[in-house]
Amino acid sequence: MEILQRFQLQIQHGISSLGLAIKIAGVQILSRTVKTGSNTVSFTDTELDNIYKKYGTLSSLIATFIVSGSGYSNSKTCTIMLKRKSKDY
């Protein structure tokens, strides 16, 4: 997966507002509020820089996406792969 500046997230839950967090290596790199329906989540330059720094000499990372709020919590863990590095770290 190439790191994109934004991604689409579809929430199909009865709660109107939920928290979204993304963690890499146990460190939270993003926190947003999302709503039921379609959401576009954009990374800031600082968040993208933090992701690239986590790669070091690796070609992939494990990221956990967590959606939670009002007693609800769900997570999805996935591998993100670097296709090319745009900055030197």
pTM to 2 decimal places: 0.79
Instruction: Return the percentage of the chain with pLDDT > 70, whole number.
Output: 87
Strands (E), the chain: 6-11, 17-24, 27-35, 37-42, 60-69, 72-81
Class of domain 6-81: mainly beta
3-class secondary-structure state, position 75: strand
pLDDT in tens, 12-52: 878 889 999 999 989 999 999 999 899 999 989 899 888 88
